Chains A and B, each alone.
Chain A
Amino acid sequence: AQSVTQLGSHVSVSEGALVLLRCNYSSSVPPYLFWYVQYPNQGLQLLLKYTTGATLVKGINGFEAEFKKSETSFHLTKPSAHMSDAAEYFCAVYGNNRLAFGKGNQVVVIP
């Protein structure tokens, strides 16, 4: 079954520093991959997705992710963290007729 792994439940980053959130997937077929963001007491919002084509995907709020088949990874990055990036981030993969979500990364931005 398709699944994703997100290590490290909490990630602290200084304002202006690189944001890097790691996601590794397991899939028996070419994967469809997603990153979502959740602000406090809100639902999940789609940041970006990879289906086919270009492996570097750009999303909203300055985030991007690169699909690397050889590493079975889909890491999320942002060059410079803002205070407004403090939120929880979920990686997901499509499989078995539904999305499978990771456990999430809580991002804390330090001023």
Chain B
Amino acid sequence: ETGVTQTPRHLVMGMTNKKSLKCEQHLGHNAMYWYKQSAKKPLELMFVYNFKEQTENNSVPSRFSPECPNSSHLFLHLHTLQPEDSALYLCASSQDEGKGRGYTFGSGTRLTVV
């Protein structure tokens, strides 16, 4: 148990489907992050939330829609995805932007778009 839980662990979806990824942290952290990890590519920071407010959106296509209802929960809503969106999606959390203790990561959701 890492303290950051992601569900589902695996997801296969068609290009016309709508699905959501969920992330929950029990660490009392105030910042949460979505990362995309594709094969042979560096980690890509997608979104950052501090105290439930989105503070960063790294030019992510609108087919990815984040939601952060409170400091413990983070969602990534998916719709009309493309095959190139297949990747491991990682959620992370931190206290005070991770300066002293870094980030705590979840185990990820392996997404396959067919």
Query: A-side interface residues toward B, CB under 8 Å?
Result: 32, 34, 36, 41-46, 49, 51, 90, 92, 94, 97-99, 101-104
Contacts and interface: CB of A to CB of B under 8 A. Distances in A.
A99 B92 CA distance: 11
B93 to A, nearest CB: 11
28 contacts: A34-B102, A41-B88, A41-B107, A41-B108, A42-B107, A42-B108, A43-B92, A43-B105, A43-B107, A43-B108, A44-B92, A46-B102, A49-B101, A49-B102, A51-B100, A94-B98, A94-B102, A98-B45, A98-B48, A98-B97, A98-B98, A99-B98, A99-B102, A101-B42, A101-B43, A102-B42, A103-B42, A104-B43
Nearest to A104: B42
**Interface size, B (range):** 20 to 34
